[in-house]
């Protein structure tokens, strides 16, 4: 199961699910920028921002739980090392 998740979130070639996940995340990134373009914040933009945040958190967690496949190191070291990578820090921010 975790290997399939790894292939979905890290390897964007091959399966339809991986490609769909890639494009879904691109759409979420674009939608997350919409609340930044307005001075007022209507309720639907707050809800949109909350959903985008939820998807980004889920994406981060999925990437973290598959870190051992990313580093080809099936030990706890991969999980401990993942949050300290530059790209992981940027994702967290």
Quick: pLDDT tens for 38-74: 877 788 888 888 899 999 999 888 888 888 777 777 7
Roughly how many angstroms between the first and final C-alpha of the chain, as a whole number?
A: 28
Could you tell me the pLDDT band of residue 92, with boundaries at 50, 70 and 90? confident
Which residue matches tokens 């998740």? 5
pLDDT given at position 68: 79
Q: Rg of the chain's alpha carbons, rounded to an integer?
A: 15
Tell me the pTM.
0.77
Beta strands in 12-87 (DSSP E): none
């Amino acid at each position: 199961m975790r290997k399939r998740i790894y292939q979905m979130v890290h390897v964007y070639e091959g399966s339809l699910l991986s490609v769909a996940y890639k494009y879904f995340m691109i759409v979420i990134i674009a939608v997350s920028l919409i609340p930044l373009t307005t001075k007022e914040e209507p309720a639907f933009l707050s809800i949109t921002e909350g959903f985008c945040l939820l998807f980004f958190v889920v994406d981060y967690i999925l990437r973290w739980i598959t870190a051992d496949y990313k580093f080809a190191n099936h030990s706890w070291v991969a999980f401990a090392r993942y949050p300290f990578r530059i790209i992981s820090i940027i994702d967290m921010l």
